[in-house]
Amino acid sequence: MKRTNEFEVVPQSDEDEELLRRLLDASAALWNEINYQRRSNFENPDGDVWEIDEYRGRYGGTLGASTVQQIERKNREAWRSFSALREKGEANGKPGFWGNQDEGRELRTYIRNTSYSVEWGEHSRLEILVGQDLKEEYGLGYRERLRLEVRGNPNWKEYDKQGRLELYYDDVSETFRAFQPVTIDNSRLAQPLADETAALDIGANNIVACTVSTGEQYLYEGRDLFERFRETTQRIAELQSKLEDGRYSSKRIDSLYRRRTRRRDHAMDALCRDLIERLHDKGVSTVYVGDLTDVLETHWSVRTNAKLHNFWTFRRFVGRLADTAEEFGITVEVRTEAWTSQTCPNCGSTEDTTRHQDTLTCTCGFEGHADLAASETFLRRHETVSRPMARPVCLKWDDHSWSASSRAPCPNEEHTNPQVASVDSA
């Protein structure tokens, strides 16, 4: 089973940082050259995107032959993905460049699994291969590698095989970071503690509302996250409006795009792990996730569309949720959630309910948080729930982790009637 370790990489001296930056910059230059040649071949009716020049002689002294090979391979993979999507009519653009020399390249490289090593312990470190020219220039021995400090607590310190290392400079946090794919034995994965179930409602204001068959409910509030996403989007639009004719981007705009994406993905990834760990503790073995396909095709408003189409990356989220759940032996199933947002979890009516912002009311007497009610209804479609709903746990993002809010109750919690909501509609 494949998993990924992510950790921070710290040069031990200014000289080491300079060497590392030169290595990553040369990798970006190589990527751009290969990509430019493939784009030119693509536009040429007689060209072949798979035929490119030999670059090891020009870049091998800086990067090492194996790293040149990995960047060539990564670019080939990007073009294969583009070609496959193009055949399906889903391609939205050719593989892009990693910046330029004038405005700054995106510092990134890929290192073959045999060309680096990681040692975990009190003084964790990463050693990577560099080209012979750089070794001589910076005084490294013939067989010596660049040694870098590693910070972080990876999930998988023990593994059977390591994959290609991705190493890049994150200009948002101003740190070097690495992704290390690893293969682990299935016997190292956790197993469910019981056979409980949970259902997730994915929304525009609240990222995830979750109901567990044991009665627990969790609400991950997303307003602040979306507002920051929207503010960055507006700033990008302002900068784009000031560009000269014929220009479509700038170093600042590219940086804002990366910052917006990384902030969102970091919060989403942390949400997946926080939720799955909570569900594992409750003995959950199966998680039902509402399919957003129908929702994403419905145009409610410009603002809601921005949340669902731009902020939400549903496939990526479900993929990360499933990968995290697999570590704990939990199965994730995507099911339709049609009408759950308009259905009363008490009587099952869809005609006698009224939704106003975060509140769902029904003529039968039910009044509760709309997203939590939707997740409860969603769960009842698949499981019989006879236990009363506990007080919901509302979680907020603080840029580092999801924490239960202690300052204020869950939105509209005072409207929730646990005794009414606990009645099985069956």
Render each residue's pLDDT in the chain as its tens digit; 426 residues. 788 888 999 999 999 999 999 999 999 999 999 999 999 999 999 999 999 999 999 999 999 999 999 999 999 999 999 999 889 887 778 998 987 766 678 899 999 999 999 999 888 999 999 999 999 999 999 999 999 999 987 878 888 899 999 999 987 778 999 999 998 877 667 788 889 999 999 876 788 999 999 999 999 998 888 888 889 989 999 998 988 887 778 878 888 888 888 888 889 999 999 999 999 999 999 999 987 655 544 444 445 555 555 666 778 888 889 989 988 989 999 887 777 777 888 787 878 878 777 788 888 888 888 889 889 989 988 888 777 778 899 999 988 889 987 544 455 444 444 333 333 332
The string over 136-159, giving b where at least 16 C-beta atoms fall within 10 Å of a residue's C-beta and e elsewhere, is eeeebeeeebbebebeeebebeeb
User: Which of 289, 270, 276, 317 is closest to 193 using CA atoms?
Assistant: 276
Helix axes 251-281, 314-327, angle to 10 degrees: 40
Q: Which two tokens stand for residue 6?
A: 């992510």
CA distance 25 to 32: 11
Query: Residue 17, CB half-sphere, CA atoms under 13 Å: how many?
Result: 11
pLDDT at 424: 35
Parallel, antiparallel, or unpaired: how do β-strands 393-397 and 217-221 relate? parallel
- Asked whether the beta carbons of 198 and 213 are under 8 A apart, the reply is yes
pLDDT at 42: 94
- Identify the residue whose tokens are 């239960």: 404
The DSSP code sequence of 323-381 is HHHHHTT-EEEEE--TTGGGS-TTT--SSSEEEETTEEEETTS-EEEHHHHHHHHHHHT
β-sheet bridge partners, residue 181: 4
Q: Which amino acid is at 42?
A: F
What is the DSSP code (8-state) at residue 310? I
Helix axes 14-43, 56-63, angle to 10 degrees: 160
What is the DSSP code (8-state) at residue 355? E
What is the DSSP code (8-state) at residue 391? P
Q: Which CATH class is domain 196-421?
A: alpha beta
| Residue 294 CB burial class (10 angstroms; 0-12, 13-18, ≥19) | exposed
User: Which of 375, 373, 352 is closest to 364 using CA atoms?
Assistant: 352
Give the N- to C-terminal CA distance of the chain in Å, as an integer.
Answer: 40
CA distance 361 to 178: 49
| Residue 266 CB burial class (10 angstroms; 0-12, 13-18, ≥19) | middle
> Domains of the chain: which residue ranges?
2-188, 196-421
Cα-flanking dihedrals φ and ψ of residue 45, to 5°? Answer: -55, -30
pLDDT at 150: 94
Helix ranges restricted to H, 242-343: 251-281, 293-296, 302-305, 314-327
What is the DSSP code (8-state) at residue 307? I
CA distance 375 to 410: 15
CA distance 423 to 419: 7
CA distance 49 to 47: 6
CA distance 148 to 128: 8
- With a CB cutoff of 8 Å and minimum separation 6, the contacts of 115 are 64, 66, 67, 128, 129
